[in-house]
């Protein structure tokens, strides 16, 4: 089971740096950065652009599976199943999750430092909306031990300083997205770093 | 022997003056090149007839006023030696109003080369040109000749200007102090002019180089990325009657299995003996 990142959702499996730099919105961002760096030479601006692309690509390495799990820890049916199975080691509860939506917003930013002095800060906006339908979760001993079926539609949007850089929608199989392992703790008090 | 050395010094001085004049011409050449084609010709140094001819070629309606008037030239002055020392276009500003251009030409003489002349010969040459003759140094010997003069030969000056000469005897076996000083001054002036030209050239080259140079390239560029603020993940579940696009509105359904261990029932019957 491979990890699915926001970067992969937005730009596919190809070279993310090249994909970012080819977007029309990125050109506008680079032009604005150039305006903010009047003392930097053309060669220096190319370095800034390259480093910015690389830094942004790194910021998009969020795991979609982690985002889903973060949302599910707040799902009432799953939380109830976790409480119901915690006290009974033999109990297993299968929950068919109603249609639900998980959203996140990230505000990463990049500082540009020239000759030791910060000359600009570039802010990004990353929005992620995940619509899930028909997912079956199996809970045992307050842990989510299996994910089955269902449909997961991810809509991701990336912007910078008011300019849209990329936007894309993808449909994935949630059972292939979330790495369950030995079970994912649903309740906060049950969470242990070694599990999941 | 002394005569040869003196002549050599004169040649040196002439060369130095010519070099200085050439440098000056280089410095002001750009200004002269900017003269318009319809500007009046320069008549400085031309004779009376030549200056009139040149100006009339430029504009047939030109009016020329001579200072002093031609009929009042200094006594003893040969009119053929008179040249224009200064030229002034008096009504240049209003020429556009179709007035006849009026020129005031101040007359004078071209300084002759007095070197080698005796005191009397030099005085005669100067005074017949409407100039005043004076002597700065005189060894008092009858064979003394002019060693140096001021202004220099070929200078164009207005009538009445004084010309000073220094006399030296041919058998003094050396060059007078005045001559040596003059030569040294001229040489120093020429050297200074050359040095100024070189300095000017260097400064201009540096300025041009600075203009062509690209802005200073920053040596260190660093980009630091921060994950920044994270909002969420937030979970939204539809309430009664609401739905997401393409989704259903069923509530979540849970099925719990709770197996209970049943140890069973054991019956023990013992046989009678």
Tokens representing B123 are 């005085």
Alpha carbon distances (Å) from A66 to A61, A140, A177, A180, B5: 11, 20, 9, 11, 105
CB-count exposure of residue B25 (10 Å: 0-12, 13-18, 19+): exposed
Query: Starting from the edge strand earliest in sequence, which strands make up the sheet with B145-150, in order?
Result: B132-137, B162-168, B145-150
pLDDT of residue B178: 60
Task: Tell me the shortest Cα–Cα distance from B201 to chain A, in angstroms.
Answer: 29
Q: What is the DSSP letter of B97?
A: G
Q: Which residues of B touch A114 (CB under 8 A)?
A: 218, 220-222
List B209's β-bridge partners, or say none.
none
In the predicted model, is pLDDT for residue B89 greater than 60? yes
**Separation between Cα atoms, residue A55 and residue A57, nearest integer Å:** 5
Task: Tell me the shortest Cα–Cα distance from A1 to chain B, in angstroms.
Answer: 23
Task: Provide, rounded to the nearest whole percent, the portion of chain A with pLDDT above 70.
Answer: 95
B interface test, pick of A88, A99, A130, A140 with most B CB neighbours within 10 Å:
A99
Judge contact between A156 and A171, C-beta under 8 A: no
The domain total for chain B is: 1
pLDDT band (50, 70, 90) for residue A181: confident
**Separation between Cα atoms, residue A102 and residue A132, nearest integer Å:** 8
**Segment A7-58, tens digit of pLDDT:** 899 988 777 788 888 888 888 888 888 887 777 788 888 888 888 888 888 8
Task: Tell me the shortest Cα–Cα distance from B240 to chain A, in angstroms.
Answer: 11
Q: Is residue B240 part of a domain?
A: no
CA B103 vs. chain centroid, Å, equals 31
Q: Is residue B92 part of a domain?
A: yes
Q: B228: helix, coil or strand?
A: strand
pLDDT band (50, 70, 90) for residue A131: very high
In the predicted model, is pLDDT for residue A66 greater than 60? yes
**Separation between Cα atoms, residue B183 and residue B17, nearest integer Å:** 10
| B249-272 mean pLDDT | 79
Q: Is residue B180 part of a domain?
A: yes
Tokens representing B66 are 């001579």
List B69's β-bridge partners, or say none.
none
pLDDT band (50, 70, 90) for residue B97: very low
Q: In whole numbers, what is the pLDDT of chain B averaged over residues?
A: 76
Q: Which residues of B touch A153 (CB under 8 A)?
A: 246
Task: Tell me the shortest Cα–Cα distance from A105 to chain B, in angstroms.
Answer: 5
Lowest mean pLDDT among A144-158, B114-128, B246-260: B246-260
Give the structural domain span for B175: 2-10+41-192
Tokens representing B129 are 């040109």
Q: Is residue B120 part of a domain?
A: yes
**Separation between Cα atoms, residue A172 and residue A135, nearest integer Å:** 12
**Separation between Cα atoms, residue B10 and residue B148, nearest integer Å:** 9
Task: Indicate the residue of B224, B251, B258 with minimum beta-carbon distance to A113.
Answer: B224
More confidently predicted of B22 and A94: A94
Lowest mean pLDDT among A94-98, B93-97, B268-272: B93-97
**Separation between Cα atoms, residue B218 and residue B220, nearest integer Å:** 6
List B251's β-bridge partners, or say none.
none
In the predicted model, is pLDDT for residue A144 greater than 90? yes
Cβ contacts of residue B32 below 8 Å, gap of 6+? Answer: none
pLDDT band (50, 70, 90) for residue B245: low
Alpha carbon distances (Å) from B2 to B7, B47, B139, B140, B175: 9, 38, 16, 18, 8
Task: Tell me the shortest Cα–Cα distance from B223 to chain A, in angstroms.
Answer: 5
Place of tokens 């220099």: B152
**Separation between Cα atoms, residue A58 and residue B50, nearest integer Å:** 88
pLDDT of residue A92: 93
Long-range Cβ pairs for the range B95-101 (8 Å, 24+):
B100/B59, B100/B61, B100/B62, B100/B63, B101/B40, B101/B59, B101/B61, B101/B62, B101/B63
CB contact under 8 A, B232 and A100: no
Task: Indicate the residue of B232, B233, B237 with minimum beta-carbon distance to A98.
Answer: B237
Nearest to A108 by CA among A56, A52, A162: A56
Tokens representing B271 are 């046989």
pLDDT band (50, 70, 90) for residue B61: confident
Q: Is residue B167 part of a domain?
A: yes
**Separation between Cα atoms, residue B43 and residue B33, nearest integer Å:** 17
**Separation between Cα atoms, residue B176 and residue B170, nearest integer Å:** 11
Tokens representing B264 are 């069973």
Is any Cβ of chain A less than 8 angstroms from the Cβ of B32?
no
In the predicted model, is pLDDT for residue B38 greater than 80? no
Tokens representing B9 are 């010094």
**Separation between Cα atoms, residue A139 and residue A93, nearest integer Å:** 5
Count of CB atoms situated within 10 Å of the CB of A70 = 16
Nearest to B41 by CA among B57, B30, B26: B57
**Segment B158-210, tens digit of pLDDT:** 888 888 888 888 665 445 556 667 778 888 888 899 999 999 888 887 776 66
pLDDT band (50, 70, 90) for residue A73: very high
Judge contact between A20 and A56, C-beta under 8 A: yes
* Domains of chain A by residue range: 6-190
Helix pair angle (A24-36, A42-59), 10° resolution: 130
Is any Cβ of chain A less than 8 angstroms from the Cβ of B75?
no
| A 86-125 near B (Cβ less than 8 A) | 88, 90-116, 123-124
- What CATH number is given to the structural domain containing B55? 3.30.10.20
**Separation between Cα atoms, residue B32 and residue B200, nearest integer Å:** 19
Judge contact between B126 and B134, C-beta under 8 A: no
């Amino acid at each position: 089971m491979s990890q699915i990142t926001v970067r992969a959702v937005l730009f596919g499996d190809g070279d993310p740096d090249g994909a970012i730099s080819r977007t029309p919105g990125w050109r506008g961002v680079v032009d604005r950065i150039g305006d903010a760096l009047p003392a930097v030479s053309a060669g220096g601006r190319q370095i800034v652009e390259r480093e910015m692309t690389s830094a942004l690509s790194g910021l998009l390495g969020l795991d979609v599976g982690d985002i889903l799990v973060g949302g599910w820890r707040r799902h009432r049916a799953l939380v109830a199943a976790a409480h119901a199975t915690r006290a009974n080691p033999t109990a297993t509860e299968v929950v068919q999750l109603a249609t639900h939506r998980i959203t996140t917003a990230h505000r990463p930013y990049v500082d540009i430092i020239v000759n030791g002095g910060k000359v600009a800060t570039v802010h990004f906006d990353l929005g992620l909306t995940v619509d899930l339908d028909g997912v079956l979760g199996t809970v045992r001993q307050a842990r989510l031990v299996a994910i089955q079926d269902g449909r997961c539609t991810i809509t991701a949007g990336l912007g910078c300083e008011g300019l849209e850089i990329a936007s894309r929608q993808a449909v994935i199989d949630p059972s292939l997205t979330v790495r369950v392992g030995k079970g994912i703790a649903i309740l906060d008090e049950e969470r242990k770093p070694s599990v999941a | 022997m002394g005569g040869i050395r003196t002549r050599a010094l004169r040649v040196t001085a002439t060369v130095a003056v010519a070099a200085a004049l050439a440098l000056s011409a280089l410095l002001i050449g750009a200004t002269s090149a900017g003269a318009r084609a319809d500007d009046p010709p320069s008549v400085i140094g031309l004779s009376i007839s030549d200056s009139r001819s040149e100006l009339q070629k430029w504009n047939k309606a030109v009016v020329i006023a001579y200072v002093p008037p031609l009929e009042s030239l200094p006594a003893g002055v040969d009119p053929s030696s008179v040249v224009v020392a200064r030229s002034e276009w008096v009504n240049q500003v209003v020429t556009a109003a179709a007035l006849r251009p009026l020129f005031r030409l101040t007359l004078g003489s071209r300084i002759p080369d007095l070197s080698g002349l005796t005191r009397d010969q030099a005085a005669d040459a100067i005074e017949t040109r409407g100039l005043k003759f004076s002597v700065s140094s005189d060894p008092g010997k009858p064979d003394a000749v002019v060693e140096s003069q001021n202004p220099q030969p070929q200078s164009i000056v207005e009538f009445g200007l004084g010309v000073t000469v220094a006399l030296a005897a041919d058998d003094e076996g050396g060059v007078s102090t005045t001559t040596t000083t003059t030569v040294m001054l001229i040489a120093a002036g020429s050297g200074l002019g050359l040095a100024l030209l070189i300095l000017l050239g260097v400064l201009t080259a540096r300025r041009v180089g600075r203009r062509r140079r690209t802005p200073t390239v920053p040596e260190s560029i660093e980009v630091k990325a921060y994950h920044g603020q994270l909002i969420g993940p937030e979970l939204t579940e539809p309430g009664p009657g609401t739905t997401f696009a393409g989704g259903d509105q069923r509530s979540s359904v849970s099925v719990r299995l709770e197996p209970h261990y049943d140890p069973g029932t054991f019956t023990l019957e013992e046989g009678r003996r």
